[in-house]
């Protein structure tokens, strides 16, 4: 991302937000540096620019939200992703999570079910110069064309893990997905070891529902 675009503003607010995320237990300093660089105020609507550096989710339209920065940090850290690897994101929303992955040097593929949200996020990707590949569709069936992925991150909550996403995970890859009821979920971090899938849970999150063929029915 070129230095002159966007992130010259709100530097103090971003620093304070990152300090809060660090205090809450996120340890990956490279990731924290990236969060400190990304201009979150470009991913929210005009109405919420003044609140862009609060550690909270904010409305982005279509009854959806940009995720809380702490949650984005926990999910990204759980992916344990390396520069140059390939990641699928389900739920582009504002594009903030995808931008963080791109800034980490990851090849990002992202799917959003609302065209209006995708169009807005594509404009920001273009402005910031991120070569993120995106499409409008149902991410519960993954994106087979570019599989397998070293990481898959789902930013909406599902009742159970969609089989298609497990199938599209590379050997050694990780899938991070909130699983639970409509009200509360735990983050499931699934690591693929050949045909085995090992799951770790991180408790206590709240996401909007993953609506689709292998998610909640809309
Ligand atoms: N990653 C986003 C960000 O950084 O702003 C978070 C967006 S929000 C918490 C989750 C998004 O998932 C919403 O925009 C919603 O429309 C989208 N979504 C829900 N079900 C989906 C599906 N089956 N396929 C693709 N996107 C979906």
pLDDT at residue 1, as a whole number: 62
Domain spans, the chain: 3-205
Looking only at the bridges linking them, the beta strands covering 86-90 and 149-154 are parallel
Atom 7 of ligand 1: nearest residue by CA position:
93
Query: Structure pTM?
Result: 0.97
Check whether the bond before 148 is cis (ω within 30° of 0): yes
Centre of ligand 1 to C-alpha 34, Å, is 22
Per DSSP, 163 falls in state H
pLDDT at residue 9, as a whole number: 86
175 lines ligand 1 (CB under 6 A): no
List, in order, residues 6 or more apart from 108 with CB less than 8 Å away. Answer: 87, 89, 98, 101, 102, 130, 132, 133
Q: Are 70 and 26 in contact (CB under 8 A)?
A: yes
Q: Determine the 3-state secondary structure of 19 from DSSP.
A: helix
6 lines ligand 1 (CB under 6 A): no
Q: pLDDT per position in the chain (218 positions), as tens?
A: 655 556 678 999 999 999 999 999 999 999 999 999 999 999 999 999 999 999 999 999 999 999 999 999 999 999 999 999 999 999 999 999 999 999 999 999 999 999 999 999 999 999 999 999 999 999 999 999 999 999 999 999 999 999 999 999 999 999 999 999 999 999 999 999 999 999 999 989 999 999 999 999 97
Pocket probe for ligand 1: among 156, 179, 217, the residue whose CB has the most ligand atoms within 8 Å is 156
Per DSSP, 53 falls in state T
Q: How many residues does the structure list for the chain?
A: 218
CATH top class, domain 3-205: alpha beta
Q: How many CB atoms lie within 10 A of CB 191?
A: 16
Q: Which atom of ligand 1 is nearest to the CA of 72?
A: 4
For every residue of 73-96, DSSP letters joined together read: HHHHHHHT--TT-EEEEE--TTSH
Nearest by Cα to 141 from 161, 175, 164: 164
List, in order, residues 6 or more apart from 16 with CB less than 8 Å away. Answer: 53
Q: How far apart are CA 121 and CA 167, in angstroms?
A: 28
109 lines ligand 1 (CB under 6 A): no
């Amino acid at each position: 991302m070129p230095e002159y675009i966007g992130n010259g503003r709100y530097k103090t607010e971003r620093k304070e937000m990152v300090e809060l995320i660090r205090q809450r237990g996120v340890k990956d300093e490279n990731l924290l540096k990236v969060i400190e660089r990304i201009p979150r105020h470009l991913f929210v609507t005009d109405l919420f620019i003044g609140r862009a550096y609060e550690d909270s989710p904010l409305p982005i339209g279509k009854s959806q939200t940009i995720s809380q920065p702490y949650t984005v940090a926990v999910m990204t850290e759980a992916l344990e992703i390396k520069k140059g690897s390939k990641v699928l994101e389900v739920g582009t929303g504002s594009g903030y999570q995808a931008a963080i992955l791109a800034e980490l040097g990851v090849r990002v593929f992202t799917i959003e079910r609302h065209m209006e949200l995708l169009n807005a996020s594509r404009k920001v990707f273009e402005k910031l110069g991120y070569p993120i590949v995106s499409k409008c569709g149902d991410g519960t069936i993954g994106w087979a064309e570019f599989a397998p992925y070293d990481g898959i991150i789902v930013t909406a909550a599902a009742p159970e893990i969609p089989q298609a996403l497990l199938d599209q995970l590379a050997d050694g890859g990780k899938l991070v997905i909130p699983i639970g009821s409509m009200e509360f979920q735990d983050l499931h971090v699934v690591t693929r070891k050949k045909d085995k899938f090992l799951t770790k849970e991180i408790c206590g999150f709240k996401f909007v529902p993953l609506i689709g063929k292998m998610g909640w029915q809309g």
